[in-house]
């Protein structure tokens, strides 16, 4: 079945632990916090983000045969997202995000089972036949699908997240396969060397680096461009999902609606900034109507 976009990879239940102080007090046994559960991880944010913008979306991933897995299935079905789920024998993934009072965060991703899972290439290929765009998370089992998408000439977008080296062996398959490559600059004060290296590996692609408060960088065969961070009236309260929303906003705008690269970067940044104003949720992301409104307002200011 042909979808506007398919998201492939990570989904699970995230627990955000919001500290009331700037640090954990390890001198005492107990600390008080606000703990909130929700459907999260990169695939959870991305597929729900595309759906909020009104697209025909598929999600391909794994959940356990457990309460959390059933909850995820039912929630995505209610959203109107088509799904292809495999069963993870080790259960639905559960990640924990420590949210500090000063805005910092520390993420503990659930890696159980990821290295052992193997997708059904034939079944997934038939399921996604005719789909133009896939956005892939770097859960290990997704790498086995990359040759399939290359064979079908499917546009491949990959988010390699908080990469620490352009030569990271785990990420090489994804770096080579991505027509559009997203990454976070959280580990680099200057992302330019990484962008240049990624463009050396493949010059026929787009590279986008999320830089948080510093904005965003765009790499193409013509060079690197930098864009200021976008501000909205709503305060920043939770940065989980911001990178996923940047990707959703950019990809949908450029490849599904035909906006220019620069326009799509702005729309991606608006989607990311809006995500940061929502607390512990992937179900309350920006709508097409609101994205268009903010976009028009920002363009007028320019």
pLDDT 10s digits, 258-281: 999 999 999 999 999 999 999 999
**pLDDT (tens digit per residue) in 74-83:** 999 999 999 9
Domain ranges of the chain: 5-301
Q: Using CA atoms, how far apart are residues 67 and 262, in angstroms rounded to an integer?
A: 43
Whole-number pLDDT of residue 159:
98
Task: Show the 3-state SS of 235-282.
Answer: CCCCCCCHHHHHHHHHHHHHHHCCCCHHHHHHHHHHHHHHHCCCCCCC
What b/e readout covers 270-295, taking b as 16+ CB neighbours within 10 angstroms? bbbbbbbebebbbeebbeeeebeebb
CATH class in words for 5-301: alpha beta
pLDDT (average), residues 108-119: 91
């Amino acid at each position: 079945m042909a979808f506007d976009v398919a998201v492939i990879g990570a989904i699970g239940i995230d627990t955000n632990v919001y500290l009331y102080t700037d640090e954990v007090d390890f001198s005492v046994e107990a600390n008080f916090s606000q703990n909130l559960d929700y459907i999260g991880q990169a695939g959870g944010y991305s597929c729900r983000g595309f759906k909020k913008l009104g697209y025909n979306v598929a999600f391909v991933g794994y959940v356990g045969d457990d309460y959390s897995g059933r909850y995820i299935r039912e929630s995505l079905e209610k959203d109107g997202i088509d799904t292809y789920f495999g069963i993870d024998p080790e259960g639905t993934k559960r990640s924990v995000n420590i949210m500090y009072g000063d805005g910092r965060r520390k993420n503990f991703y659930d890696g159980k089972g990821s290295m052992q899972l193997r997708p059904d290439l034939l079944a997934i290929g038939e399921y996604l036949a005719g789909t133009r765009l896939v956005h892939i998370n770097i859960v290990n089992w997704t790498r086995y699908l990359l040759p399939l998408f290359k064979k079908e000439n499917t546009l491949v977008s990959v988010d390699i997240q908080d990469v620490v080296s352009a030569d990271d062996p785990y990420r090489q398959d994804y770096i080579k396969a991505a027509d559009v490559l997203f990454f976070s600059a959280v580990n680099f004060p200057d992302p330019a060397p990484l962008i240049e290296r990624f463009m050396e590996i493949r010059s026929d692609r787009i590279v986008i680096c999320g830089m948080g408060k510093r904005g965003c960088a765009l790499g193409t065969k013509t060079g690197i461009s930098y864009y200021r961070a976008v501000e909205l009236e709503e305060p920043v309260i939770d940065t989980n999902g911001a990178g996923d929303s940047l990707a959703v906003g950019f990809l949908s705008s450029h490849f599904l609606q035909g906006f220019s690269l620069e326009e799509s970067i702005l729309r991606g940044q608006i989607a990311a900034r809006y995500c940061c104003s929502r607390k512990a949720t992937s179900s309350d992301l920006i709508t097409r109507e609101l994205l268009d409104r903010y976009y028009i307002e920002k363009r007028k200011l320019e």
